Amino acid sequence: MKKLFIGLSFLTLMSFSLFNDSSSREIINSCDKENSKEKCKKALVPYRYSSMKVTDITFRGYNQIKEVTIPLFFDSKYRFVFNTEGLPHDIIIEIYDKHSTERKKKDEPLFTANSSQKQFNYEPEDGFALTNIYVNYLIPAAESNGDVEKGCVVLMSGFENELSFQSLDGGDETN
């Protein structure tokens, strides 16, 4: 009976220590969405706001790819502003004109950047008639000390606003 009690006590202590170790895992989130959004808005000027996408990224012990589709509705010039200040590790950002299931090995990205720049713009060349762009976030494996590291990328898009109206006196006004 005494051996049974000692055995159960030992198992209880072992299970408590196992659960205690896993509960000490800390989630470290580096994302400051509001601050990043404000910086993107400033960088978007003089373009008119079209859309925004915040992509949350959790760094793991293996490589990952996240693809985001951005629809384009206007036959206009676009600006895409990326803010990666909310990432604890650098990633690579690639932009394509085709979905990953449609691309061939030889297809080159339209644009590539490293998140170490913290904030940057992409403006497609004139003459591109795109209906969507596809943003790939290439997330490298991150070594972990048991903590979970998270971050985010804020992507804001805007289009060039070139509206012109006839004034009452017959002249052109641009707004």
Model confidence pLDDT, tens digit, residues 12-46: 545 444 444 445 678 888 889 999 999 999 999 99
Query: What's the number of domains the chain is made of?
Result: 1
pTM: 0.74
Question: What is residue 142's predicted lDDT score, i.e. its pLDDT?
Answer: 86
In a domain, 17, yes or no: no
Write b or e for each residue in 52-81: b if 16 or more Cβ atoms lie within 10 A of its Cβ, otherwise e.
beeeebebeeeeeeeeeebebeeeebbbbb
Question: What is residue 19's predicted lDDT score, i.e. its pLDDT?
Answer: 46
Residue 118 domain boundaries:
32-160
Q: Which residue has the tokens 């490298």?
A: 140
Query: Across-strand partners of 54?
Result: 154
In a domain, 131, yes or no: yes
Q: What angle do CA 52, 54, 58 make, to 5 degrees?
A: 165
Question: What is residue 24's predicted lDDT score, i.e. its pLDDT?
Answer: 65
Question: What is residue 94's predicted lDDT score, i.e. its pLDDT?
Answer: 94
CATH number at residue 143: 2.60.120.290
In a domain, 13, yes or no: no
For residue 139, count CB atoms less than 10 angstroms from its CB and return exposed for 0-12, middle for 13-18, buried for 19 or more.
buried
In a domain, 83, yes or no: yes
In a domain, 51, yes or no: yes
In a domain, 168, yes or no: no
The residue among 162 and 111 whose pLDDT is bigger is 111
In a domain, 23, yes or no: no
In a domain, 129, yes or no: yes
